[in-house]
């Protein structure tokens, strides 16, 4: 693959950013005024946090944006030294050409240690005249309250179905792909509003075939088809434990699934079963207990067998 599609299709202007209209409008107003506070972007992966930060820099600094914009990933360099040295050195110097301030974009800042966050707090306070910070994280609760109080907080949401469809149509048109309606439905379900994952899946599929259907997507993402998972649940809830166990093993081996992969799909498909809601609740509770045991290090298949046995007892 000569070009990574997540970079190839990264929006360059505010109008191209999908699914975050309210946030984009507020941020665009800051850029138009050539002034902005420190910003904190919080939300799940692949929804436009880094993209919006780059667009802010490009629109505010134009052709000089690379000289006045520093992008760091806090998960790579998460100690106090990165704040005391690299960030502080960039923040204390004046911006190049006629721009009001520099911008430091700190991605995954919820990975910073508490000591590094304390040092960052002082740096943000001392160099406000020459530098603004854009902090990005998945969980804002991991950011110290004093840092949050210094920022305007924007909470990003997963992309909606219509936004995902727009991205698929744009890529399909540009790359001359044929994406079936069933494939679009699967992509919406599998990606969960993550545009980066969507683009990676489409690029992987396009290498194999220009005609993309749901079967190809399931093969690429190594996921079981909903019908396969539903069959496992049906047999187990009807007391056919051996049949359900064998089907579960075949499905996991065929798609190369781990216990965590299959249990997430089982959890989702429980609600499609034609059984009483009370039974669904008990099955869902058992899923959570099984996943916890696997996280703690228990044998995956043994725990999945135990879960299917519980489903059989619950069904009766």
pLDDT (0 to 100) of residue 78: 60
In percent, how much of the chain has pLDDT > 90? 47
- H helix or E strand, kind and range, residue 103: strand 102-107
pLDDT (0 to 100) of residue 98: 75
Distance in angstroms (rounded) separating the CA atoms of residues 312 and 316: 6
Q: Among candidates 179, 161, 261, which has minimal Cα distance to 221?
A: 261
Please provide the average confidence, as pLDDT, over all residues in the chain: 88
Q: Among candidates 196, 161, 155, which has minimal Cα distance to 6?
A: 196
pLDDT (0 to 100) of residue 1: 42
Distance in angstroms (rounded) separating the CA atoms of residues 119 and 115: 6
Distance in angstroms (rounded) separating the CA atoms of residues 295 and 297: 5
pLDDT digits over 257-287, tens only?
A: 888 889 989 998 998 888 888 999 999 999 9
Distance in angstroms (rounded) separating the CA atoms of residues 256 and 258: 7
Whether residue 27 is predicted with pLDDT greater than 90 in this model: the reply is: yes
Q: What is the mean pLDDT of residues 185-189?
A: 90
pLDDT digits over 125-174, tens only?
A: 888 888 999 999 998 888 999 999 999 999 999 999 999 999 999 999 99
Distance in angstroms (rounded) separating the CA atoms of residues 243 and 303: 17
β-bridge partners, 155: 42
Determine the topology of domain 161-221 in CATH.
Helicase, Ruva Protein; domain 3 (1.10.8)
Q: Evaluate whether 85 touches 92 at the Cβ level (below 8 Å).
A: no
DSSP-derived 3-state class of residue 136: strand
Would you kindly state where each structural domain of the chain is located, as residue ranges? Answer: 20-155, 161-221, 226-315
Whether residue 238 is predicted with pLDDT greater than 50 in this model: the reply is: yes
CB atoms within 10 A of CB 21: 11
Architecture of domain 20-155: 3-Layer(aba) Sandwich (3.40)
pLDDT digits over 86-131, tens only?
A: 778 888 887 777 778 899 998 888 888 888 888 888 888 888 888 9
Q: What is the mean pLDDT of residues 294-305?
A: 92
The CATH code belonging to domain 226-315 is 1.20.272.10
């Amino acid at each position: 693959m000569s070009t990574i599609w997540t970079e190839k299709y990264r929006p360059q202007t505010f109008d191209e950013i999908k699914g975050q209209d309210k946030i984009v409008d507020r941020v665009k107003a800051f850029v138009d005024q050539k002034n902005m506070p420190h910003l904190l972007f919080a939300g799940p992966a692949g929804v436009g946090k880094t993209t919006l930060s780059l667009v802010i820099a490009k629109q505010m600094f134009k052709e000089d944006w690379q000289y006045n914009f520093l992008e760091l990933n806090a998960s790579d360099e998460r100690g106090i030294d990165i704040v005391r040295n690299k960030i502080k050195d960039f923040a204390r110097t004046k911006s190049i050409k006629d721009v009001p301030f520099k911008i430091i974009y700190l991605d995954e800042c919820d990975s910073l240690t508490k000591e590094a966050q304390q040092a960052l707090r002082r740096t943000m306070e001392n160099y406000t005249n020459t530098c603004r910070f854009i902090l990005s994280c998945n969980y804002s609760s991991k950011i110290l309250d004093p840092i949050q109080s210094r920022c305007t907080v924007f909470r990003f949401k997963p992309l909606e179905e219509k936004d995902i469809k727009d991205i698929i149509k744009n890529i399909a048109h540009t790359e001359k792909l044929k994406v079936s309606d069933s494939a679009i439905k699967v992509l919406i379900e599998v990606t969960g509003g993550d545009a980066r994952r969507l683009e990676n899946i489409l690029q992987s599929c396009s290498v194999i075939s220009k005609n993309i259907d749901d079967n190809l997507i399931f093969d690429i993402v190594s996921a079981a088809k909903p019908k396969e998972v539903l069959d496992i649940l049906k047999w187990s809830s009807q007391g056919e434990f051996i049949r359900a166990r064998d089907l579960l093993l075949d499905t996991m081996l065929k798609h190369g699934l781990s216990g965590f992969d299959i249990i997430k799909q089982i959890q989702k498909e429980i609600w499609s079963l034609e059984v009483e809601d009370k039974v669904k609740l008990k099955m869902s509770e058992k899923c959570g207990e099984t996943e916890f045991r696997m996280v703690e290090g228990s044998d995956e298949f043994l725990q999945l067998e135990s879960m299917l046995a519980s489903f059989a007892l619950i069904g009766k």
